[in-house]
Amino acid sequence: MLSKEQIQSIRQDFPYLSKEWDRDIVYLDSAATTQKPRQVLEAVEGYYKFENANPHRGAHYLGQKATEVYEDGRQVVADFIGAKANEVVFTNNTTQSINTLAYVLGLNTLKEGDEIVITILEHHSNLIPWQFVAEKTKAKLKYIYIDKETKALKEEDLENQITEKTKILAMTQSSNTTGTLVDVKKMIKKAREKSKDIKTIIDGAQYIPHHKLNVKDLDCDFYAFSGHKMLAPMGIGVLYGKEEALNNLPPFFYGGEMIEYVYEDRATFLKAPMRFEAGTQNVGGVKGLTEAIKYLDSIGMEEIAAYEESLTQYAYDKVKDLDFLDLYTTREDKKGSVITFNLKEIHPHDVASILDTYGLAIRSGHHCTQPLHRYLGLNASCRASFAFYNTQEEVDRFIAHLDDVRRMMGLGSK
């Protein structure tokens, strides 16, 4: 497991966490977006300084360089997730990856009577696109719910909700709110037994920054994630799709670089991934994502997972007996790197604002999971989320200042 010394040395790579910045911040909001190491920042700067050109177009040196950066990046992403390079489509983020599928798969293939199954854990970006598809195609949108105690998906819903009419199963692999880790591999297998032409879509936004992933092992048809939650810049994301599944879909955006031949009245299109990458792409973002993956790989995803698991458990053990807290995360099973809670009778925004005065950054609100909050009888909650650059000392500060919030707001304690 990563030692304290290793973590301290890792922290020096992050300007925000290092002594370079004179504000003393405990950043517990990595589920929203991670901080960026200098290796990523320098790579992006280096790209714009010395490699910048429009990829796939220029025959000149820089044009070739930019194409190399872009396509080498695609190979790095493919290796990281166990895919082939032509199965990696660059997008802006998870939201765009899922919307692409909602339009080109959902709108094009579903009809009245078909079913889309999602879970109540979904982030709005894997929920509203399917509401939209259901409304347009008259397909039925169905949910798999969670057990309110364990926050795990209900076994009976797993059995009953997916039927031979289910054409799309879209689900998160790790909840950004409860931290629930979903055994998507098992669900994909079960779903295929029930419905032979089902397409499976995994929202990996909160999984891939923390765990080793192999899409071939999961056997999902599609997998979506965002670079900015895994050390890369904002504005770069990925849609993985099985080669055949991608090539069976029509393009989403139309324009430059996704075409084969264009005539006055018609055009033919390239195969995936290019057919889904119309217009000038975010090569600087790909450079940043490439460097972020190299950085994560240099530490090792198994090491990262083990360290975060123990750090989150450490935090959980400290908060679980605080009688002024309601917890919405459990650790009975393995869970993600988040702890979600409320201080009884105190609005989450007040909690977050008071913690901010002590230099603690947590998230408050509905975390883009309003249906999940409503299902749990909540309007909003507080969320502390951890990354491998956080420390036990930071967790201790977080707990100590939670107690300050309690005292300030006149709440009792054991």
**Active site residue ranges:** 368
Q: Which is nearer to ligand PLP, 11 or 151 (CB)?
A: 151
Query: Which helix (H) or strand (E) is 301 found in, with range?
Result: helix 301-319
Does residue 203 interact with ligand PLP by CB under 6 A?
yes
Least Å from the CB of residue 96 to ligand PLP: 7
Is 178 an interacting residue with respect to ligand PLP (CB under 6 A)? no
Residue 249 token pair: 């879909």
Q: Which among 2-10, 16-24, 88-96, 320-328 is the span making contact with ligand PLP, rule CB under 6 A?
A: 88-96
Cα(204)–Cα(183) distance, integer angstroms:
12
Cβ nearer to ligand PLP, comparing 195 with 226: 226
Name which of residues 6 to 35 contact ligand PLP (CB under 6 A): none
Closer CB to ligand PLP, 93 or 137, in the complex: 93
Sequence-separated contacts (24+) of 359-363 with Cβ below 8 Å: 359/23, 359/24, 359/25, 359/26, 360/25, 360/26, 360/28, 360/397, 360/398, 360/401, 361/25, 361/26, 361/27, 361/28, 361/29, 362/28, 362/29, 362/398, 363/29, 363/31, 363/32
Size of the site for ligand PLP (CB under 6 A): 12
**Amino acid in the structure at residue 377:** G
Tokens of 169: 């199963």
**With CB under 6 A as the contact rule, which of the stretches 147-155, 200-208, 351-359, 404-412 interacts with ligand PLP?**
200-208
Tell me whether residue 182 or residue 272 sits nearer to ligand PLP (CB atom).
Answer: 182
Rounded to the nearest whole angstrom, what is the least distance from the CB of residue 388 to ligand PLP in the complex? 18
- Interface with ligand PLP (CB under 6 A), residue from 35, 99, 226, 364: 226
Which amino acid appears at position 17 of this protein? L
By CB under 6 A, residue 95 contacts ligand PLP: yes
> If binding is defined by CB under 6 A, does position 176 make contact with ligand PLP?
yes
Cβ-based nearer residue to ligand PLP, 110 or 201: 201
Tokens 């819903």 -> residue: 157
Can you give the binding site for ligand PLP, defined by CB under 6 A? 93-95, 123, 125-126, 172, 176, 203, 205-206, 226
